[in-house]
Structures are given as structure tokens and as C-alpha cells.
Amino acid sequence: MSSPDYRRLGKKVCYTSTMKIMRNRRPFRYLFFGLLSLAVLIYIIVSVPPNFELRPPVGGSNFAFSVIPLFFILLFTSCFFLSSFLFKNRQQGILIGIFASCYLLFRLQDLTHPFFLFLLLALFLTLELFLKRR
């Protein structure tokens, strides 16, 4: 059974309810990029040692990258895209991605006391409340 033609029936189509339905859809590109970056992150965790250095394929260069910045970039992007997909809010995705990256950076620098986690959590909750009021 097809939907009735509202123009022919003389009824007006409610633009706001139609746009509300379209606006409430989740962007699946966030899910795709989140799962893709999470898969690459898991591959790096499983197969690459932490002291591994990435060298460019061009010979004659002594230039090397550590794999740790790549880990943090992939961690941020996977947290950002997945939380943006779950909460339908890019701002919360950015905050959650930065929170996860900062927490693991603290752990990398041996700042493992629970007080640092509490301070970081308080900072990001305050930022969330501040940005929500704007």
C-alpha cells in the first residue's frame, strides 16, 4: 500500500516533522571510519612492537618515525568516530577522543595515580558542561 498524495488531497506536508525524521538518522560514515581506524589500531597493537620505527621506502634517508604517535592518532580517530556515531554529536566525540588519548599519554609518562584520572575526568566533564551551555 502506497502513501497517499497529500497535495492531491489538499493537505499540507509538515516540513518540520519530515526534517526531524531525516535529522535523527545516524551518519553511517562515522561508523565505517571508526571501525576502519579501530581495525588498523588493533592490527598495530597486535603486530608491531612499541619500539618499532617506521622508515620511508626511499633509500639513503636516516629519517624514522616512532609508531607511538601513529597509535595515538588512530586511538583518537577511532574514539572520535565511534562515539560521534553513538551519541550523534561530534563535539562529544572530540572530547571523548581527547580524553582517551590524554589518559593513555599520562599512563605513558608514568602518571598512574588515580588522582590524575580524577582530575582529567573532572576537566573533561567541566568542558562538556561549558560547551553544552553555549
- Interval 38-48: pLDDT, tens: 999 999 999 99
The residues pairing with 16 across neighbouring beta strands, listed in sequence order, are: none
Question: CB burial class (10 A; 0-12, 13-18, 19+) of residue 124?
Answer: middle
The owner of cell 526534517 is: 19
Interval 54-87: pLDDT, tens: 887 776 677 888 899 999 999 999 999 999 999 9
1 or 36, which is more confident: 36
> What are the residue ranges spanned by the domains of the chain?
27-133
Per-residue pLDDT at 116: 94
